[in-house]
């Protein structure tokens, strides 16, 4: 993999060098804040390409981060819904067990009168 990357970088460098050397006609460049009297067309193309790639990568990272945050929020909302349902089920089962326990205790007290306190009468 490193070999392929190194080969790709060398090819890119040679292509960039050839682009600058073959397009040697000087042109004047008028930017918003400054004016460059003469610059080679090949160099101008390379600088423009590099700035375009850099701005594109930065914007791509930001857009991907927004999508990644959106996906994470959706995942967490699903997890919250699942945990709420689980919590409701646990609360219902505990309430049912408590109600059954109360009914059982009441039935046991009704059946076993000796467990009830005796009166002297």
d(CA 110, CA 97): 20
Average pLDDT over residues 63-79: 92
Structural domain contains residue 119? no
d(CA 64, CA 91): 40
Q: Are 44 and 25 in contact (CB under 8 A)?
A: no
Helix (H, G, I), strand (E, B) or coil at 92: helix
Structural domain contains residue 121? no
Structural domain contains residue 108? yes
The CA R_g of the chain, rounded to the nearest whole Å, is 39
Structural domain contains residue 61? yes
Structural domain contains residue 86? yes
Structural domain contains residue 110? yes
What pTM, to 2 d.p., does this model score? 0.50
> How many structural domains are present in the chain?
1
Predicted confidence (pLDDT) per residue in 98-113, tens digit? 888 777 666 655 555 5
Q: Which one is predicted more confidently, 85 or 67? A: 85
Predicted confidence (pLDDT) per residue in 12-47, tens digit? 888 888 888 888 788 888 878 888 888 888 888 888
Structural domain contains residue 36? yes
Tokens representing residue 16 in the block: 């960039």
Q: Are 26 and 39 in contact (CB under 8 A)?
A: yes
Residue the block writes with tokens 């409701």: 88
Rounded to the nearest 10 degrees, the angle between the axes of helix 2-22 and helix 41-111 is: 140
């Amino acid at each position: 993999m490193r070999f392929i990357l190194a080969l790709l970088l060398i090819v890119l460098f040679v292509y960039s060098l050839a682009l600058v050397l073959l397009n040697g006609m000087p042109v004047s460049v008028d930017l918003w804040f400054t004016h460059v009297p003469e610059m080679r067309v090949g160099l101008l193309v390379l600088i423009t390409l590099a700035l375009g790639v850099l701005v594109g990568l930065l914007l791509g990272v930001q857009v991907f981060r927004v999508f990644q945050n959106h996906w994470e929020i959706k995942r967490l909302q699903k997890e919250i819904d699942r945990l709420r349902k689980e919590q409701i089920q646990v609360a219902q089962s505990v309430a049912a067990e408590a109600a059954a326990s109360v009914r059982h205790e009441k039935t046991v007290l009704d059946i076993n009168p000796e467990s009830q306190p005796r009166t002297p009468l």
